[in-house]
Amino acid sequence: MNNGIASPRPPASWRDSLLALRDRLLASPKFQRWAGAFPLTRPIARRHARAVFDICAGFVYSQVLFSCVQLRIFERLREGPDTLDAIASATRLPPEAARTLLDAAVSLHLIERRADHRYGLGPLGAATLGNPGIAAMVEHHGVLYGDLHDPVALLRGEVKDTALSRYWAYARSAAPGALDPGAVAEYSTLMATSQSLVAEEILDAYPVGQHRCVLDVGGGEGVFLLTAARRTPALSCLLFDLPPVAERARARFAKEGVNGLAFGGDFRRDALPTGADLVTFVRVLHDHGDATVELLLRKAFAALPPGGRVLIAEPMARTGGAEPMGEAYFGFYLLAMGSGRPRSPDELRRMLTEAGFVSVRSLRTRQPLQTGALVAVRP
Ligand SMILES: C[S@@+](CC[C@H](N)C(=O)[O-])C[C@H]1O[C@@H](n2cnc3c(N)ncnc32)[C@H](O)[C@@H]1O
């Protein structure tokens, strides 16, 4: 090792040898020039260059989206295309700066140029309007962006106090059951806002109508249960979350007229309530280390009657076609949060089996990018 640069290691297999040849070619400026000029390889060379550029520049693209969301530009354009001057004055930006932002957003398909020098919604900007959770998450990313300022220090564990670990107050708390209402308010609101589309996805993939009573563990303000109860009014709903979050769920159940019971406690210390024939973990397990996940699955097993089921729904690692969502986005998000990791369906399947569950099945969700899902039976 010299200055941190390793000397080449002998390839371990014929596949390694082939890939080493590919890597040497792709890293060679001479080959890059040739591939960019030769008609058959030119499209591939351009695609690769674009992919590398997108990874380099992704943080700028995110800030373009962030600015559009913060300035409520998509909401404004929902009413119809508008001129540069009108948008500049509504957003209190100097016209040249507004042009910079709008043109950047056009290049990212968030906005489109329309007739008479006006700007209208682009397909991706319009899509963000369909789910209020997207705008909420984009604004929330201001916190993550700050924490990723020095990713290597974060990876080395040198950053002890991240903004995300303060935001998700339970992440590093030794006694999350003692958190006060102020500590849970902001994240609970964000989760409630971003839950509605996830809930529809999950309930389309797994009809809860076949159950009598569902216990949603780490159920937040109860939006998942409310959505389930709207589809199946006869369903009994139980929710378990930290005491001040359970209080918020009680208020929501009362407001929406749902016959739900919310239990407050610390799921690492307390037993889960019994009586449900379905236990759900929606966007909960990825927040925790393996020991806590194993404990939670054993607790779910203990709370269920024979024949009862457990449903895990969350964004998962190794999601075909959306790999960067699991490993890159959630990997770094949870790193900054200081707790948990994204898990693949295979890892969760193994953990479910070790907890005693059988007949573990992956469910097909429409948007695996938003959530994957696994269901298993307590024998
Ligand atoms: C990421 S949020 C997901 C909320 C909800 N399931 C959803 O998808 O919108 C994780 C939830 O787990 C709860 N939680 C975290 N640690 C907990 C603990 N030790 N005991 C009980 N609930 C906990 C949090 O309060 C929070 O509501």
pLDDT level of residue 1 (50, 70, 90 thresholds): very low
Distances, alpha carbon 264 to alpha carbons 116, 170, 208, 244, 246, in Å = 58, 14, 23, 7, 5
Task: Report d(CA 132, CA 238) in Å as an integer.
Answer: 26
Task: Report d(CA 212, CA 208) in Å as an integer.
Answer: 8
Residues of CATH 1.10.10.10 domain(s) within the chain?
27-129
Residue from 165, 168, 190, 191 to probe ligand 1 pocket by mutation (most atoms less than 8 Å from CB): 191
Q: What is the separation of C-alpha 31 from the centre of its chain, rounded to a whole number of angstroms?
A: 39
pLDDT for 4 equals 53
- In the chain, pLDDT over 70 holds for what percent of residues? 98
Q: Ligand 1 atom 13: the closest Cα is on which residue?
A: 218
Q: What's the whole-model pTM score?
A: 0.92
Lowest mean pLDDT among 109-113, 250-254, 322-326: 322-326
Give pLDDT tens digits for 114-154. Answer: 999 999 999 999 999 988 889 999 999 999 999 999 999 99
Q: Residue 191 CA: which ligand 1 atom is closest? A: 9
**Span 27-129: which CATH code?**
1.10.10.10
Lowest mean pLDDT among 44-58, 240-254, 293-307: 44-58
Please check the confidence at residue 104 and state whether its pLDDT lies above 60: yes
For 132-377, the fitting CATH number among 3.20.20.450, 3.40.50.150, 3.30.360.10, 3.20.20.80 is: 3.40.50.150
> What's the token pair of residue 371?
């959530």
pLDDT for 6 equals 65
Counting Cβ atoms within 10 Å, is residue 56 exposed (0-12), middle (13-18) or buried (19+)? exposed
Task: Report d(CA 315, CA 330) in Å as an integer.
Answer: 8
Ligand 1 centroid–CA 191 distance in Å is 9
Residue from 221, 266, 284 to probe ligand 1 pocket by mutation (most atoms less than 8 Å from CB): 284
Strand pairing class (82-83; 278-282): unpaired
Ligand 1 centroid–CA 374 distance in Å is 18
Q: What one-letter code names the amino acid at 67? A: S
Residues of CATH 3.40.50.150 domain(s) within the chain?
132-377
Average pLDDT over residues 77-88: 97
Lowest mean pLDDT among 3-7, 106-110, 218-222, 281-285: 3-7
Return the bridge partners of 280, or none. 216, 311
Lowest mean pLDDT among 21-25, 95-99, 325-329: 21-25
Average pLDDT over residues 358-371: 93
Ligand 1 centroid–CA 298 distance in Å is 17
